Chains A and B, each alone.
Chain A
Amino acid sequence: MSEREAVIGIDLGTTNSVVATVQDDQPVVIPNRTGQNLTPSVVAISKNGKQLVGQLAKRQAITNPDGTVYATKRLIGRKFSSDEVGEAIKVLSYQVVCGEHDDIRVRLADKDISLQEISAKILAELKLDAEEHFGRPVDKAVVTVPAYFTDGQRQATKDAGRIAGLDVLRILNEPTAAALAYGLGKSINGKIAIFDLGGGTFDISVLEISKGVFQVIATGGDSFLGGEDFDHRILESLVFGFAKENGVDLRKDRMALQRLKDAAERAKIELSEAKTASINLPFICTPPEGGTALHLQRTLSREKLEELTADLCERTLSLTAQVLKDAKVRPADLKEVILVGGMTRMPRIIEGVRKFFGRDPSKGVHPEEVVALGAAVQAHALTSNLPSPVLLLDVTPHSLGLAIAGGYARQLIAKNTTVPTSMKEVFTTSKDQQTTVKIMVLQGESEIAHENELMGEFLLNGLRSAPRGELQVEVIFDINSEGIVSVSASDKETGQKQSITISPSGGLTEDEMEKIIGQQDDLVGDRTDSATTKSATAKRSELSGLLAQVEELFPNVKRIFAASNFGGDAVKKVEMTLSTAKKALKDHSLAGMDYSIDELSRTLQMFKSVQQRMGIPG
């Protein structure tokens, strides 16, 4: 092995994903083939049957709402019947159906696709970006997940990696990854907190760093609290206001919903900088009883956004307080507080964190990229031939225990215990003449057995018939370095032993996995076709094409605008977009062209929807 193996770190995010590697001992982001560091976590099957991933998929989302899949991270590895999923799918513009084992599938072009496959498409895209960067195959990666993900969710993410042809070396917690990237090369000694509010999840972790050893002290969070929820609050307020004014529920219209979602996200981002944001969605719908099309025009202030999301901000802080309590750390004990995730740009969040910790939080590295950089650091540390300068002591985020008499749960391995670990405890029989004990392995924090997740169960038979309390059974819980849990129980008297190894399921059986991986080979041809490799020339031609289309439709749309009561605002904006696009073409500016392609696609989509509403064929 003369040349070092290429290994990558991937932050598979709810809204955006990032791939990074370590070069010359420095973690760096690998830009995707369109030159961006962030790849939207969006997958689509276009109307003509083409598979699109990333920016291309996101761009056409408005005109193809039921063929575009996003935010699957919120659903992956969960049960279809769970409350969170029931709540979440109400606001998705794509169709979600129940799989064979209560898992979740997405209906795309009349095919039911597992979420693992959707995530795999994003991972495969990032893998291709990395291969382009290195000029050789890349198949080893560390992939990050929220610290609070369950074993099922972790396994599903791992399965996605396998489908994408990646050997997932490790599933790493996002806040931990952020700490690795942040602390690398700095002489931090002491405890730090990572406050990670991303697109879909919130994580808070406390780590102790000394001499390159990063020890996780405590971690916690909510895998259903993130930027998407903030967007949703704005969306709901828009929908509610619109219903009050016009008596129309916009959520029933998938295209309107997609446009609202898009507008809500933009407004939220704008409000991190500006005090007010205006939302203009012309021709959002036609009234069901007929008549002229309706427009949505609203101004949203920063105060209003804060009011709409006050409880979400509050929740991040109450979870933070809980984790600090678990870590037995006071805010003043912390050397630094680090903000991670795009949502931490929101002034209200920064202010809340500052007040809570009594200090200014650090943002150091780009908050959206730091997780991927940390994943790359860990991938490098694991595969390095030389002793790595960093070592991560990670913890188990959930407690493990077993069910005991009376329907209670007894914890053997507490959450936040460094792994690998092994704990044993001796139990006695609880009934007279009991000859069998049932070991039910539980994961969770509740003292009531059934409120925890049952991970597996087994029986230990053939105990001597004796009065209760006389026989002793030794139970050993073990988490090995791969994170695999095994539990054994033995009769102290006879030495008889039973054990179980718990293999978490991400929702797909091994057979299904094999089948999917088999099918991947057939898709390769399709994949390369859809790959987003784009040279400047290709970009130029895409932009000129868009420009021509918009200019062609513009006079017609202008007429519609003039006839309606909708302001000239939109017209002015289109004119500006057109002139910027022409300038970008003239200047050969790559970034400018990217921007204009985005803007023009939006305009074009708007035009089309306007014409559709007015009954004029596009």
Chain B
Amino acid sequence: MAPTSEADREKVDIDPERQREILRLDQGLERMNHFEVLQLLPGASASQIKEAYHTASLLYHPDRYFQKNVGSYKEKIERIFKRLTEANLVLTDPERRKAYQKANPHLFRAPPRASSSSESDQPHGPTLHAHDTLRASERRARLARHPYRAKANECGELMASARSHVSEGQFDQALTELQMAARTAPGNRVLQSMIEDITLRQKAEHTAQEFKRGEAAEARGDPALAVGCYIAATELDRTHAMAAVKAASLLHRLGQDADRARELAQRAVQLEPRNLDSKCLLGMLLMEGGEKELAEAQFEAVLKIDPNHAEAKKRLKKRWPF
């Protein structure tokens, strides 16, 4: 890549990846809109803007490079930060945002569905006369050599490579490629939706892996490791009820972190209200935590669904004599 060689030429106290990023951003400042500068999708809300601005500031505020040897990067970093500040100022101030919206209405339209948007970067110029084919082909050849097209080609290659990695299940690799592509073609909605989609699939896969590791560990008789895996799975996917129940019951068995166990059991019950085992577990945990009334309510709820549930009957009976 062209910027790499330029980055290598100057010896500065900035890591090479950041150097490339600085060069890329600085070169693109003129043509980027305020959302692109902050690496956000058009129409992002004020709070998203602020968050992105703060995150970007941690990378590009000149104070991060104070008294360091940054050579020609000093000006670039300052330029980038000023541009970030401007974008933040315009997009978080209601009046300025309105004015910017008026001037750039296309940036504020609801993003179209990914399938309907075109991947091609073909400019919408006036149509060429059909008979003038010679000039048209010449024009196409010139366009292909133009850096703008070159970028589109690079972007296309990266996307193709990413697709093949996805089909092989190599999500990490695919994501890296797509993020690189997104930098050369910011604002490309297909790319953005692909990134979102793959991020979700990657997460789902990680969750499944963690859960499987947990089950394996439990089968091996290593409950401590199993708890860790189940909790990791619940953290990756907060709607994973099974992992939550397993984590809660293991924590209970190990006598660890009762608050956490209760919280996980609660979540499992909320996710699957008809799962009697998790309700029972929650009841037990609440009972041990001294919340007798809440616990009884859980057991009663179990009995309402299944009047012959042995565990719940036993637990409730234990308390009846009083």
Contacts and interface: CB of A to CB of B under 8 A. Distances in A.
Contacts of A237: none
Contacts, number: 51
Interface in A399-415: none
Given A381-B63, A382-B63, A210 B54 contact: yes
B61 interface: yes
Contacts of A418: 85, 88-89
B57 A213 contact: yes
B57 A417 contact: no
A387 interface: yes
A208 B46 CA distance: 14
B63 A210 contact: no
Contacts of B50: 208, 210
B58 A213 contact: yes
Nearest to B62: A481
B70 to A, nearest CB: 11
B66 A382 contact: yes
A417 B89 contact: yes
A480 B82 CA distance: 9
Nearest to B13: A385
Most chain A CB within a 10 A radius of its CB, from B50, B61, B63, B81:
B63
Contacts of A571: none
Nearest to A384: B66
Contact of A481 (B51, B55, B58, B78): B78
A333 to B, nearest CB: 13
Contacts of B78: 420, 480-481
Interface residues of A, number: 23
User: Size range of the interface on B?
Assistant: 10 to 19
A382 B61 contact: no
A263 interface: no
B260 interface: no
A392 interface: yes
A393 interface: yes
A213 B54 contact: yes
Interface in B3-52: 50-51
B102 interface: no
A577 interface: no
Nearest to A211: B54
Interface string A477-508: 00011000000000000000000000000000
A420 B57 contact: no
A422 B82 contact: yes
Nearest to A140: B67
Given A382-B67, A481-B63, A391 B58 contact: yes
A420 B74 CA distance: 12
A213 to B, nearest CB: 4
A254 B172 CA distance: 78
B6 to A, nearest CB: 23
A597 to B, nearest CB: 43
A262 B58 CA distance: 48
A215 B85 CA distance: 11
A387 B57 CA distance: 12
Given A420-B78, A420-B82, A212 B58 contact: yes
Given A420-B81, A420-B82, A391 B51 contact: no
Contacts of B51: 210
A393 B61 contact: yes
B308 to A, nearest CB: 49
A235 B55 CA distance: 52
A212 B85 CA distance: 17
Contacts of B89: 417-418
B298 to A, nearest CB: 33
Contacts of B313: none
A77 B64 CA distance: 30
A383 interface: yes
A141 B321 CA distance: 74
A383 B58 contact: no
A375 B284 CA distance: 53
A420 B61 CA distance: 9
A63 B27 CA distance: 67
B187 to A, nearest CB: 24
A421 interface: yes
B8 to A, nearest CB: 23
A391 B66 contact: no
B18 to A, nearest CB: 11
Nearest to B65: A481
Nearest to B94: A328
Contacts of A417: 85, 89
A478 B119 CA distance: 39
B54 A215 contact: yes
B17 to A, nearest CB: 14
Contacts of A420: 62, 78, 81-82, 85
Interface in B68-99: 78, 81-82, 85-86, 88-89
A213 B63 CA distance: 12
A487 B88 CA distance: 23
A391 B57 contact: yes
Contact of A383 (B61, B67, B86): B67
B82 A387 contact: no
A214 to B, nearest CB: 10
Contacts of A212: 58
Contacts of B67: 169, 382-383
A169 B82 CA distance: 21
Contacts of B58: 211-213, 387, 391
A138 to B, nearest CB: 16
B61 A391 contact: yes
B57 A421 contact: no
Contacts of A423: 86
27 contacts: A169-B66, A169-B67, A208-B50, A210-B50, A211-B55, A211-B58, A212-B58, A213-B54, A215-B54, A381-B63, A383-B66, A387-B64, A388-B64, A391-B57, A391-B63, A391-B64, A393-B57, A417-B89, A420-B62, A420-B81, A420-B82, A420-B85, A421-B82, A421-B86, A480-B78, A481-B63, A481-B78
Given A212-B58, A387-B64, 4 more contacts: A210-B50, A215-B54, A421-B82, A481-B62
Nearest 8 pairs of A and B residues by beta carbon: A481-B62, A213-B54, A382-B66, A422-B82, A418-B85, A210-B54, A420-B78, A421-B82
